[in-house]
Structure 1
Amino acid sequence: MLAPRSPIILSVFAKWVEAVAVFHNAAAVWATLPPVQKSRFMRFSRQQGPLSASSYGSKILNIPASNSLERILAVLDVFTEDRLEWTPEELMASLGYSRPTLYRYLKTLKESGLLVSASSGAFTLGPRVVEMDYLLRKSDPLALHGAEHLERLVARYRCTALLARWYGAKILCIDSRNSAEKPVTSYPRGRPMPLGRGAIGRSVLAFLSRRQQLPVVRSLLDELAAVGFGHGEAEVLEALKRVRRAGVAVAFGEVTPGVVGIAAPLFDGGESPMGSFGLTISGSLVNGEAIDAISDDVRKAAADLSRTLTLSKGK
Structure 2
Amino acid sequence: MVTVTQGSASLAKMLHIMELFSEAEPVWSTTAIIEALETSRSTGYRYIKALHEAGLLEAVRNGHYTLGPRIIEMDLQMRLTDPLLLAGQGVLKDLVDRIGHSALLCTAFRDSVLCVDEYRAPLSPENRFSRGQRRPLFQGAISKIILAHLPHHRLKAIYARQQSEIENSGLGGTWSDFRTTLGKMKKDGYALTMGEFNPGVYGVAAPILTDQKTALGSVGVAWNESERRDVEVEHAVLAVKQAATTISERLMENQRR
**TM-score range, shorter-chain basis?**
0.7 to 0.9
Q: Secondary structure at the match of 1:165?
A: strand
Asked whether the 8 Å contact 2:207–2:219 carries over to 1, the reply is: yes
- Count matched residues: 255
2:159 is equivalent to residue 217 of structure 1: yes
2:6 is equivalent to residue 65 of structure 1: yes
Name which of 40, 49, 52 aligns with 1:107. Answer: 49
Aligned to 2:223: 281
Task: Spell out the pairing of 1:93-172 with structure 2 (5 A cutoff).
Answer: 93-119=35-61, 121-172=63-114
Asked whether the 8 Å contact 2:124–2:224 carries over to 1, the reply is: no
Aligned to 1:6: none
Task: Spell out the pairing of 1:245-284 with structure 2 (5 A cutoff).
Answer: 245-284=187-226
Query: How far does residue 95 in structure 1 lie from its aligned partner after superposition?
Result: 2.4
Residues in 2 aligned to 1:142 and 1:87: alpha-carbon distance in whole angstroms: 36
Stretch of structure 1 that moved more, 263-272 or 168-177: 263-272
Q: Secondary structure at the match of 1:230?
A: coil
Name which of 229, 253, 256 aligns with 1:311. Answer: 253
Against the structure 1 CA distance between its residues 233 and 81, is the aligned structure 2 distance closer, same or farther, given a 3 Å change threshold? farther
1:307 aligned partner, one-letter code: E
Aligned to 1:189: 131
Asked whether the 8 Å contact 1:218–1:233 carries over to 2, the reply is: no
Residues in 2 aligned to 1:140 and 1:185: alpha-carbon distance in whole angstroms: 26
Taking structure 2 as the reference length, the TM-score comes to 0.87
Q: As a proportion of its length, which structure holds more strand?
A: 2
Q: Sequence identity of aligned pairs in percent?
A: 31
Query: How far does residue 237 in structure 1 lie from its aligned partner after superposition?
Result: 2.2
Query: How far does residue 111 in structure 1 lie from its aligned partner after superposition?
Result: 1.7
Against the structure 1 CA distance between its residues 274 and 236, is the aligned structure 2 distance closer, same or farther, given a 3 Å change threshold? same
Against the structure 1 CA distance between its residues 235 and 272, is the aligned structure 2 distance closer, same or farther, given a 3 Å change threshold? same
Structure with larger Rg: 1
Residues in 1 aligned to 2:15 and 2:166: alpha-carbon distance in whole angstroms: 32
Q: As a proportion of its length, which structure holds more helix?
A: 1
Deviations 1:236-278 (A, max 9, x none): 2211111011011111110221111111111244553111111
Deviations 1:73-124 (A, max 9, x none): 2332333455433332333233233222221221121122110123363322
Taking structure 1 as the reference length, the TM-score comes to 0.72
Cα root mean square deviation, aligned: 2.7
Query: How far does residue 156 in structure 1 lie from its aligned partner after superposition?
Result: 1.5
Asked whether the 8 Å contact 1:164–1:276 carries over to 2, the reply is: yes
Residues in 2 aligned to 1:226 and 1:206: alpha-carbon distance in whole angstroms: 17
